Structure 1
Amino acid sequence: MVHILKCRDLGFNDDFIVVDNDPVKVKEKMKEHILDKHKDEFGELSDFHKEEIMSKMDFLLTRGCGCGVLKL
Structure 2
Amino acid sequence: MDNLFLSSDFRVEILEYEKVARDFGKELEKEDDKNIFFMAEQLQFSDDQMETWRREFQRIEEEVDEEGFEEL
Under a length normalisation based on structure 1, what TM-score does the superposition of the two structures give? 0.27
TM-score by length of 2: 0.27
**Which structure carries more helix by proportion?**
1
Bigger radius of gyration, 1 or 2?
Answer: 2
Higher relative contact order (CA 8 A, sep 6+): 1
